[in-house]
Structure 1
C-alpha cells in the first residue's frame, strides 16, 4: 500500500515540473520576442530619420550650387567686367528732352531726359547716367519713366525730374568714368560693387556649408553607432 500511494505522487510531480519549466521558457521567449520586436521597430525609425536628414543635406547642396550659378551670372560677372572705377568731378551744365521719344520694351514710346556734365579733370563734356545699366539700355538718357500709355503723364513726370536737375545746374558732384569702353559717358553710382558681390555670395555659401555639415554629422553618427 505504501508503494501504491507513493507512486501516484511521483507520477503527478513530474508533469507539474515540466509544465512549470515550459511556462518559464515561454515567458523568457516571449520577453525576448518583445525585446527583439522593440529593437526591430526602433531600427527602421532611426534609419528613416537618417535618410531624410541626408536627403535634406543633399537638397541644400543642390540649391546652393544653383544659387551660385544665378548669382555668378547676375552679380559677380557684371562686377568683374565693370571698369567704372576711376572717380572724377562732374559739373552739371545742361538738361534737355529730345523730341524723338525712345522705345520702351516694344510696348510704347517714352520721353527721354538727357543730362550733360563737364568733367573738370579732363575738361570735356559727357552724358550723365545713374548707374551702369542705362549706359547699355538707353545710352542717350539719364532718366526715362515707366511704360504707360498716357503721354500727358509721361511728359509731366519727366518735366518734374528736369526741374529738379535744373535747380542744381553748376553744382559739382563725384562720378565714375570708363575711358576705355565708354569715354563719352559717366555714372553717378556703381550698381555692381565688391561689397554687393560678397553679400550675394554669402547665402549660397551658408546653404552649402549647412548641407555639407548635416550630411557629415549623419555619416559620423552612423559610423559611431556601428563602431560601438
Structure 2
C-alpha cells in the first residue's frame, strides 16, 4: 500500500507525456504538409507568372515591330506612289488628235535592239497649242508607242502599223488628257499611272499594320492593368 501511490503517479505522468508527444508529432506532420502544399502552390503560381510575363513581353515586342515596319512602309509608299501622284500632271485638259506618224529613224530599246517609233500630235482645246501625246508618266519620251524589244523587224513594223491605223480612225476626236505647263509645256499624257485610288490602296496596308501593332500593345497593357487591379482586390 505504501508503494501504490507513487506507482500510480508515475504511470499517469508517462501517459500524459505520450499523449503530449503524439500531439506534437501530429501537429508537426500537419505543418509540414501545409508548408509543402503552399510551396508547391507558390512554385506553380511563380511558374505561371513567369510564363505569362514572357508571353506578354513577346506580344509587346511583336506590336512594336509591326509599328516600326508600318513606318518604313509609309516611307516607301510615299516615295513611290504618293509623291508622283501629288507632283506630276495635276491639270486635266481636252486634247484633239491631229496626227500620227511613224518616224523613219528607229529608236534604241534598252540597248538591246532598235524599234520603230510612233509619234502622236494633239491640240489643246483651251489654248490651241500643239503638244506631243504620251501614254503615261512612265513612257515619257518622244514616242507615243514602241513595240517590245527582241522581235523580228517585220513583226515590229506590222505592230506599229496596226496601232497607227487605229489612231488614224480617231483623227479629230477629243479625249481627256493631263498637262504640266510649268515643267513640260510641250507634252501631255493620255492617262495617269499614279492615281488617287492606287495611292490610297497602297497606303491601306501600312495603316492596317500600324493599327494592328498599336491594338496588340494596347490589349497587353490593358491585360496587365486588369491583373494588377485583381491582385489588389484579392489582397
- What SS does structure 1 have at the residue aligned with 2:139? helix
How many angstroms apart in 1 are the aligned matches of 2:82 and 2:130? 31
2:134 aligned with 1:129, yes or no?
yes
2:120 aligned with 1:115, yes or no?
yes
Q: Which residue of 2 aligns with 1:11?
A: 17
What's the TM-score, normalizing by structure 2?
0.84
**Correspondence list, 1:90-109, <5 A:** 90-109=95-114
What's the TM-score, normalizing by structure 1?
0.86
- Mark the CA change 1:151 to 1:15 in structure 2 (over 3 Å): closer, same or farther: farther
2:152 aligned with 1:147, yes or no?
no
Per mean C-alpha deviation after superposition, the further-off stretch among 216-225 and 124-133 is 216-225
Gaps of 5+ in 2: 1-6
Q: Which residue of 2 aligns with 1:208?
A: 210
Alpha-carbon contact 2:81-2:194 (below 8 Å) kept: yes
Alpha-carbon contact 2:71-2:206 (below 8 Å) kept: yes
Q: Which residue of 2 aligns with 1:223?
A: 225
CA RMSD of aligned residues (A): 2.2
Query: Per-residue deviation at 1:40?
Result: 0.8
**Correspondence list, 1:142-181, <5 A:** 142-181=144-183
Per mean C-alpha deviation after superposition, the further-off stretch among 14-23 and 150-159 is 150-159
Alpha-carbon contact 1:84-1:190 (below 8 Å) kept: no
- Mark the CA change 1:22 to 1:151 in structure 2 (over 3 Å): closer, same or farther: farther
1:162-189 alpha-carbon deviations (Å, 9 max, x no partner): 2222222232222222222222222222
- What SS does structure 1 have at the residue aligned with 2:127? coil
- Mark the CA change 1:149 to 1:9 in structure 2 (over 3 Å): closer, same or farther: same
How many angstroms apart in 2 are the aligned matches of 1:109 and 1:33? 85
Q: Which residue of 1 aligns with 2:60?
A: 54
- What SS does structure 2 have at the residue aligned with 1:180? coil
Query: Per-residue deviation at 1:224?
Result: 3.8
State how many pairs are aligned.
224
1:98-134 alpha-carbon deviations (Å, 9 max, x no partner): 1222222223322222112233332232211112222
1:40-75 alpha-carbon deviations (Å, 9 max, x no partner): 110111111111111111111111111111111111
Q: Which residue of 1 aligns with 2:77?
A: 71
Per mean C-alpha deviation after superposition, the further-off stretch among 36-45 and 144-153 is 144-153
Q: Which residue of 2 aligns with 1:183?
A: 185
1:123-155 alpha-carbon deviations (Å, 9 max, x no partner): 2322111122222xxx21111223325333333
Q: Which residue of 2 aligns with 1:85?
A: 91
Gaps of 5+ in 1: none
CA radius of gyration, larger in: 2
- Mark the CA change 1:150 to 1:23 in structure 2 (over 3 Å): closer, same or farther: farther
